[in-house]
Amino acid sequence: MNVSRLPAGPGNVTGLHTRRSSYHPDYAALARNRVALARSSAGLSPAAFAEALSSLLGREVKAGHVASWETKTTPPGDVLIAVGALAPVTGARLGVRSHKFIAAHISHGSVEQLASKLGMKQVTGYLGKTPCWTASLDDNGDECTLAVWPWGTVIIHLTEGLDVPDVTTLAMWRYRSYPENLEWASQHLSGLVGDEVQAAYVLSLYWAYSLPWVGATLDTGLRLICAPRVLVDRDLTDLAAAQVSGERTEQELLAAGYQPAEMKAFGAPGVSSAWASWSGVVYHAHDPLRALPEGDLIGFEIGLQAIWAYTAHINEQIESDRDLEVCPRYGYGFLRAARSVLLTPRPQETGHHRQMRDALVSSSGLPGQLSLAMEALKEAGQ
């Protein structure tokens, strides 16, 4: 990741490319050892390992190829990446892909105008057959996508790759970046629609691909990533002191355990470790071939946040004692259908998908919020 994204202070690292040394390791030998160690840790024969690689690479790999890559031939780059997915190496640092979902609301009359202005593509799949418009935004993060729904909800999906030394550094970055993300999204959307838009909130999902822990400590570390607020002392204005305080708390919790009662697990033994909470979501694949695809998790979360933000907008109008203003065709009947899409298991989905659905929906508090919005719309005849 770009080191400038990390908070200044104790959490930073020095780039190794700035150092000079006469030592040059045998990278070809290291690559061959990586294949051999990965197969050994996975407990697979060369034939079984070749079959697994074939599934990931989309081309045939034979047992003889594996044997050669372990002894005399330098393995290709795509093979090394696939090997890393099959048997990740525990590192000393955290490697995560941060997915932020930034929610906002615009008038439903501005939706088609915005879609036309940006040349957005209409797609379905995030929320059953309900369409939305999507476009890429190039001025933030590693990847940024805008999704606009017919009733006026906007979800900005911001992806950033992070390489940090501990959960405290990740937590500090997260809570410092949220206000910046909200300000940027508000200004950007306001400029696009020509009217004031206020981004409402940010929800984070972390795809953790490199972790320094094993066993029970791994689950504790993932729970800290899922809900890292406990590591951030907001009463401390000195960044260095806050970092030290957070690191001390992190080590204590890693040793003693951290199990918030409201956090929902949706991993599968031997396949993945995953947690969902009000604060966010974290997922770590132990077996990439059987784990949930990253895109499935992200796609469901985008649809979930689209309805969460819409029902929150409706309930805010009720709390402010205002007449309900909703997009025609997206009233009570639509929310009833959306509730079925989000809460009802699909006939062909796996048990892992069903666990994900249950954990994400229940931890978000959507069922209660959705019921209140539906009741208000029904009473208003909408």
Both 180 and 303 in one domain: the answer is yes
Rounded distance between C-alpha atoms, residue 99 and residue 161, angstroms: 9
* Average confidence (pLDDT) over 327-333: 92
**What mean pLDDT is predicted for residues 367-376?**
94
Domain match, 173 and 263 both: yes
In a shared domain, residues 366 and 258: yes
Q: Is 19 inside any structural domain?
A: no
Q: What is the pLDDT of residue 331?
A: 94
CB 219 within 8 A of CB 269: no
pLDDT reading at 13 higher than 70: no
- My answer on whether 155 and 300 are in the same domain is yes
Residues 45, 123: one domain? no
**Distance (Å, rounded) from C-alpha 227 to C-alpha 281?**
8
If asked whether residues 279 and 330 sit together in one domain, one would say yes
Domain count, the chain: 2
More confident residue, 41 or 107: 107
Does residue 17 belong to any structural domain of this protein? Answer: no
72 and 126 part of one domain = no
Q: What proportion of the chain, given as a percentage, has pLDDT over 70?
A: 90
| 298 Cβ contact list (under 8 Å, min separation 6) | 99, 157, 205
| One domain for residues 171 and 56 | no
For the chain, give me the number of helices (H) and strands (E)? 12, 9
Rounded CA separation 97/163 (Å): 9
In a domain, 14, yes or no: no
Average pLDDT over residues 236-252: 86
Residue 313 in any domain: the answer is yes
Report the mean per-residue pLDDT for the chain.
87
End-of-domain residue from the set 49, 70, 86? 86
The predicted pLDDT at position 17 comes to 32
Q: Is residue 274 part of a domain?
A: yes
Give the tens place of pLDDT for each residue, 179-223: 999 999 999 999 999 999 999 999 999 999 889 888 888 999 999
pLDDT of residue 322: 83
215 and 250 housed in the same domain = yes
Domain membership flag for residue 5: no
CA distance 48 to 39: 9
Residues 217 and 295 grouped into a single domain: yes
Phi, psi of 308 (to 5 degrees): -60, -50
Residue 81 structural domain: 25-86
- Entry pTM: 0.77
Query: Do residue 62 and residue 111 come from a single domain?
Result: no
Q: Give the pLDDT band (50/70/90) at residue 84.
A: confident
Which of residues 86, 105, 134 is at a domain's end? Answer: 86
Q: Which two tokens stand for residue 178?
A: 């949220």
Report the pLDDT averaged over residues 113-130. 93
Q: Pick from 62, 86, 110: which residue ends a domain?
A: 86
**Whether residue 206 is found in the same domain as residue 252:** yes
Residue 46 vs residue 27, higher pLDDT = 46
Q: Tens digit of pLDDT for each residue in 277-321?
A: 999 999 999 888 889 999 999 999 999 999 999 999 999 998 988
